[in-house]
Amino acid sequence: MGRRKCDLNGRHLGWSWQSLPSTTSFAPPASSGVYAAQSVDVGTVPLYATYTVTFYDSNGAKLGVSQMMNPGSPLGAAAGATVSWPSLLSYFETQFLTPAGSRAGIQYAMSVSWSSLVNGQSLAYPVNSVQIQASGLTLAGTNGEVDGFAVGTPNNTTLGQYQTTVSAGINSQGVHTCTNCPFPAPTSGGSRLVELGGNQNWISYCDVTQYND
């Protein structure tokens, strides 16, 4: 089981790429279609900078060109260390995100609980979006992924602790995207992921805890 943090400026994700000088030759990847991330000093990226991005398929054929603009000042990875992050309550992690947990089997809905306490004070950013992604063997007997979002405002159960219910097959607008499609139990190659999202000072954050079988 692992965690990762991501800080997003507005609604735009950061790209793991950097432009090449016009004199540099370029050979698109032959099979994977995935580029290795490059090290970029975000402090050198200007506010509202505009980029031209060229996309290729796995065979190296050009798919198209897109213009992108930085919506604000970029955040470096080091900024994450200064953020007060919420954390899932340990009993929920044990129940839902471990193979031997009492909720490790197929689930149609999950009660997700987390804490905003940092050194005994409620300092973490307010969570306004809770999502679960689960992949594994579905009821149809095939491997697939089922997503679900919480709908409505989380419940403040006690000082600095919150709870909400995430139902399988519900999108972020509260609309059913499938029927009889619970979160599958983790199987070989499957995974379960819980994301706590929120905003503070015009910056969007997400705290992800994930188990990979």
Does the predicted TM-score (pTM) go above 0.75?
Answer: no
**Least trusted range by pLDDT, from 52-56, 64-68, 134-138, 163-167:** 52-56
- Asked whether residue 140 is domain-assigned, the answer is yes
Do residues 70 and 126 share a domain? Answer: no
Domain count, the chain: 2
- Asked whether residue 4 is domain-assigned, the answer is no
Tell me what the mean pLDDT of segment 183-192 comes to.
84
- Asked whether residue 1 is domain-assigned, the answer is no
What pLDDT is attached to residue 54? 78
Give the structural domain span for 128: 83-212
Do residues 60 and 133 share a domain? Answer: no
Radius of gyration of the chain from Cα atoms?
A: 20
Burial of 143 per CB tally in 10 Å (0-12, 13-18, 19+): middle
Tell me what the mean pLDDT of segment 156-176 comes to.
92
Q: Do the Cβ atoms of 88 and 131 come closer than 8 Å? A: no
The mean of the pLDDT values for the chain is 79
Beta strands in the chain (DSSP E): 2-9, 50-56, 62-69, 87-88, 109-115, 117-118, 121-122, 127-137, 143-150, 155-158, 161-168, 191-200, 203-212
Do residues 90 and 155 share a domain? Answer: yes
Do residues 151 and 64 share a domain? Answer: no
Tell me what the mean pLDDT of segment 101-126 comes to.
92
DSSP 12: B
